[in-house]
């Protein structure tokens, strides 16, 4: 019943060696490419350290510290300006957005819930109305009463609309 924690204490190189002992058919392509990737990064590290060692004496002779000393007031001004106009508004907006995020989620969920409840209520009301109100069919036995307008009714309506238009025109002229 003893549990071995040997695999937890293995070094990455031991794990890599164990992976390399597997047949190439079983290993993943990234595991096959791992030695090449490690070699490339080791070469790049060596190349950059060599270049840095070549140029380190030139850095001691450069006028860079003098320029930094002369331009220090400009750097301080730019730092203050970016703090006032960029960093502070960004931090304020980020703080407010973070503080108001729960409210945004609450309102969003309330809107979505309202839309869903409204849609369900609409469907339910249409189903209820359709089930309670009988449909009118063409073969129903209820008589349909049609009214026809006589010439007198048409003349009466025509004279009423003319008098209304005349009164409207009089009101427009007076004002």
* Degrees, nearest 5: CA angle 40-43-47: 140
On whether both 50 and 80 belong to a single domain, the answer is: no
Whole-angstrom Cα distance, residue 38 to residue 32? 11
* Higher pLDDT among residues 80 and 137, named by residue: 80
Does pLDDT of 144 surpass 60? no
* Higher pLDDT among residues 51 and 136, named by residue: 51
Does pLDDT of 143 surpass 60? no
For the ranges 12-26, 111-125, 127-141, the lowest mean pLDDT is seen at 12-26
Rounded to an integer, the average pLDDT of 108-117 is 98
Q: 172 in a domain, yes or no? A: no
Contact of 160 with 168, CB cutoff 8 Å: no
User: Residue 1: its pLDDT value, please?
Assistant: 46
On whether both 28 and 38 belong to a single domain, the answer is: yes
Q: 153 in a domain, yes or no? A: no
Contact of 19 with 27, CB cutoff 8 Å: yes
Contact of 41 with 33, CB cutoff 8 Å: no
Does pLDDT of 49 surpass 60? yes
On whether both 89 and 119 belong to a single domain, the answer is: yes
**Packing angle, helices 12-20 and 29-61, rounded to 10:** 140
Q: 142 in a domain, yes or no? A: no
* Higher pLDDT among residues 31 and 2, named by residue: 31
Tens-digit pLDDT profile for residues 84-104:
999 999 999 999 999 999 999
Whole-angstrom Cα distance, residue 71 to residue 74? 5
CA neighbor of 30 nearest in space, from 13, 14, 44, 16? 16
Domain boundary pick from 62, 79, 95: 62
Say what the alpha-carbon torsion angle 64, 69, 72, 73 is, to the nearest 10 degrees: -140
Most confident of 16-30, 46-60, 69-83, 125-139: 69-83
Number of domain units in the chain? 2
Does pLDDT of 2 surpass 70? no
Say what the alpha-carbon torsion angle 33, 26, 16, 38 is, to the nearest 10 degrees: 0
Whole-angstrom Cα distance, residue 78 to residue 65? 18
Q: 145 in a domain, yes or no? A: no
Q: 37 in a domain, yes or no? A: yes
On whether both 48 and 105 belong to a single domain, the answer is: no
On whether both 81 and 57 belong to a single domain, the answer is: no
Task: Note down the domain range covering 30.
Answer: 12-62
Does pLDDT of 125 surpass 90? yes
On whether both 33 and 79 belong to a single domain, the answer is: no
Q: 30 in a domain, yes or no? A: yes
How many C-beta atoms surround the C-beta of residue 31 within 10 A? 14
Tens-digit pLDDT profile for residues 57-87:
877 777 778 888 999 999 999 999 999 999 9
Domain boundary pick from 40, 62, 84: 62
């Amino acid at each position: 019943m003893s549990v071995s924690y040997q695999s937890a204490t293995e070094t990455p190189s031991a794990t890599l060696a164990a992976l390399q002992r597997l047949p190439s058919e079983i290993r993943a392509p990234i595991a096959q490419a791992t030695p090449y990737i490690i070699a490339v990064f080791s070469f790049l590290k060596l190349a950059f350290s060599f270049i840095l060692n070549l140029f380190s004496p030139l850095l001691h002779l450069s006028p860079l510290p003098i320029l930094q000393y002369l331009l220090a007031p400009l750097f301080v001004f730019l730092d203050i300006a970016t703090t006032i106009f960029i960093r502070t508004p960004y931090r304020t907006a980020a703080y407010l957005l973070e503080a108001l995020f729960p409210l945004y989620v609450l309102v969003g969920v309330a809107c979505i819930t309202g839309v869903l409840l409204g849609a369900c209520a609409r469907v339910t009301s249409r189903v209820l109305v359709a089930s309670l109100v009988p449909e009118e069919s063409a073969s129903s036995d209820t008589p349909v009463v049609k009214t026809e307008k006589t010439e007198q009714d048409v003349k009466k309506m025509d004279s009423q609309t003319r008098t209304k238009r005349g009164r409207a025109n009089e009101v427009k002229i007076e004002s």
